[in-house]
Amino acid sequence: MNTPPQPRFVRPCTRVWLALVTLTLVTYSIGEAGLGGKNIMLLVLAITLLKSQMIASYFMGLRKTSPMWRIIMGSWLVIVGGMIASAYLMGLQ
Amino acid sequence: MSTPSITLHTHQPGTPPGDLAIWLFIFAELLAFGVFFGSFAFSRAHHVALFNQSQLLLNRESGAINALVLITSSYFVVRAVAAIKQGFSRECANWLAGAIGFGGIFLVVKLFEFHAKFAAGISLSTNTFYMFYLSLTIFHFMHVILGMVILAAVMLKARRGGYTPENHTGVETGASYWHMVDLVWIILFPLVYVIR
């Protein structure tokens, strides 16, 4: 009788999930602490873009695709992140 | 009488998982959400005090819980794809059922949140912040429902043994769409609930 291949104890996708959960809790904690300002915004945005990149690369599987697909997704993230950051800075003036 | 044909949907190297058409749809959706996010951000730039004050009345816990719920649901879908690649149809269907269940939790949490806002007399016309908050989250809410319908169709087919390690494009197609729904909330949550 064939035994199915045993999964590794902690799969790479499980590590990504744990990282995403941890980073979400960090973002939530920043909100709960009532923190704001340019540096906090940049930190929260950096965490958000890192999480987005992890989902795109590991969950959506774009890390194994040709550069075109990664450039499209990366461009979307950069444009959205850039809009959020520049609009925030506009609001400070 | 038609003769049975065997079509192997093998994954083309370099292309993303799932049907190519879903990726065109995914990028169209991301474009729409991107415009929405940009509109929110630039509108905030003109009404910073109003946005900061209105944000204080949001339920950040439910926003964070829903972020964790969708991330976990997305993870279940990753496991479903991994299972079918090994030929475990039943396991694939079970992971998908878990993902759909978590999608349901997201909807319930969101409905409680919407109910609290509507009960407090908040509507689309309350102010610019709430116009964006309600329209963005309701737009996303509808995408969660669509994602759950797609995952349910994939789950039922998986349960019938309709996918194999060689032919599981449908599972990857549904998975890719669901990850997009997750990705959008990953950005929406800090933008609307946290950044101030």
| DSSP of B60-76 | HHHHHHHHHHHHHHHHH
Q: Which residue type does B107 have?
A: L
Mean pLDDT of chain A: 93
Q: Which residues pair with B131 in a beta bridge?
A: none
Among the residue ranges A2-11, B8-17, B24-33, B52-61, the one predicted with the least confidence is A2-11
pTM, full prediction: 0.92
Coil vs helix vs strand at A65: strand
Look at residue A7 and tell me if it is in a domain.
Answer: no
Query: What is the DSSP track for chain A?
Result: -PPPPPPPSS-HHHHHHHHHHHHHHHHHHHHHTT--SHHHHHHHHHHHHHHHHHIIIIIS-GGGB-HHHHHHHHHHHHHHHHHHHHHHHHHH-
Look at residue A6 and tell me if it is in a domain.
Answer: no
In chain B, domain spans: 48-194
Residue contact A21–B72, C-beta within 8 A? yes
* Residues B114, B134: Cα–Cα separation, whole Å: 8
Task: Assess contact for B67 and B140: CB atoms under 8 A.
Answer: no
Task: Assess contact for B124 and B134: CB atoms under 8 A.
Answer: yes
Contacts of B60 in chain A (CB under 8 A): 28, 31-32
Angstrom distances, CA of residue B129 to CA of A86, B40, B122? 18, 8, 11
Mean pLDDT of chain B: 94
* Residues A25, A22: Cα–Cα separation, whole Å: 5
* Residues A66, A83: Cα–Cα separation, whole Å: 26
The secondary structure of residue B14, as a DSSP letter, is B
Token pair for A36: 């704001």
* Residues B7, B10: Cα–Cα separation, whole Å: 9
Domain residue limits at A48: 12-92
Coil vs helix vs strand at B172: helix
* Residues B189, B60: Cα–Cα separation, whole Å: 9
Residue A47 distance to chain B (closest CA, Å): 10
Residue contact B180–A60, C-beta within 8 A? yes
Residue found by looking up tokens 């039943």 in the block: B90
Look at residue A4 and tell me if it is in a domain.
Answer: no
Question: How many contiguous H segments (helices) and E segments (strands) does chain B have?
Answer: 6, 0
Query: So what's the pLDDT on residue A5?
Result: 61
Query: So what's the pLDDT on residue B10?
Result: 54
Look at residue A39 and tell me if it is in a domain.
Answer: yes
Band of the pLDDT at B12, cuts 50, 70, 90? Answer: confident
Q: Is the pLDDT of residue B6 over 60?
A: no
ipTM of the complex: 0.91
Residue contact B17–A61, C-beta within 8 A? yes
For residues A24-45, give the mean pLDDT. 97
For residues B76-89, give the mean pLDDT. 97
- State how many domains chain A has: 1
Question: Which residue in chain B has the smallest CA separation from A77?
Answer: B34
Contacts of B79 in chain A (CB under 8 A): 13
Of A17, A24, A80, the CB nearest to B67: A24
CATH 1.10.10.10 assigned to domain B48-194? The reply is: no
* Residues B36, B138: Cα–Cα separation, whole Å: 12
Look at residue A24 and tell me if it is in a domain.
Answer: yes
Residue contact A31–B64, C-beta within 8 A? yes
Residue A79 distance to chain B (closest CA, Å): 8
